[in-house]
Amino acid sequence: MPATTAPTTPSVCTCFRLRRASRRVTQVYDHELAAVGLSLNQYSILRRSEREPRALGELADELGMDRTTLTRNLSPLVDAGLVATVRGDDARRRMIGLTPAGRDRLARAKPRWRRAQDVIDAMLGDTGIERLHGDLDRLDDLLREHLGDAT
C-alpha cells in the first residue's frame, strides 16, 4: 500500500484519526503476539510488571487506562497464571506481579514485539518515528495538564 494513499474517509476529527491509526498499529502488534497467545494490551501489562510487582493504580496510570479497564484486562492474565496479585508494604495496596509462567511468556513475546516494532519503524523511518514519538509524548503531557492529571 503506497504511503501517499488518501484515507477513504477524510475527517477533520483528531480523535478519529488517532484511533484509526492506533487500531491499525495495534493490528500489526497483535498479529505478531498472537503466536505466543498475547494481545498488545496483555504484552504491555506484562512488560510494565516485569521488574517488580506494581500497584494497580500506578500501572493503570502508566498504561493510560482507568483501574476498571486494567482490572478487566488483567483477568485473562490471572486466569492463565501469568500474573498474580501480591501484597504490598501496605496490605490494602493491590500489587500485580509476574509469575514464572508470565516471565517465560514475556521472554517468548519480546522477539515478536520487536518484529512488529521494526515494521512500524521501517514505514516511518528514524526521523518519522522520532517526530511521531515526540508529538505523541507532547500531546500526552498537554492532555494530562488539561485534565488535571485526573486520568
Residues 114-139 have a mean pLDDT of: 96
Q: What is the pLDDT of residue 34?
A: 98
Alpha-carbon distance of 73 to 141, in angstroms, equals 25
The reply to whether the predicted model has a pTM over 0.85 is: no
Compute, in degrees rounded to 10, the torsion defined by CA atoms 141, 66, 103, 107: -50
Per DSSP bridges, beta strands 83-87 and 94-98 are antiparallel
Percent helix / strand / coil, the chain, rounded to 5: 65, 10, 25
**Cell (9 digits) for 45:** 501489562
Starting from the edge strand earliest in sequence, which strands make up the sheet with 94-98, in order? 54-55, 94-98, 83-87
Q: Kindly report, residue by residue over 36-82, the tens digit of the pLDDT.
A: 999 999 999 999 999 999 999 899 989 989 989 999 999 999 999 99
**Cell (9 digits) for 146:** 488539561
DSSP conformational letter for 150: -
Q: Which residues pair with 95 in a beta bridge?
A: 55, 86
Q: What is the pLDDT of residue 94?
A: 81
Domain range 15-146, its CATH number among 3.60.15.10, 1.10.357.10, 3.40.50.300, 1.10.10.10: 1.10.10.10
Alpha-carbon distance of 41 to 113, in angstroms, equals 12
Q: What is the pLDDT of residue 40?
A: 96
Alpha-carbon distance of 148 to 2, in angstroms, equals 40
Give SS3 for 87: strand
Q: Where are the domains of the chain?
A: 15-146
Q: What is the pLDDT of residue 151?
A: 47
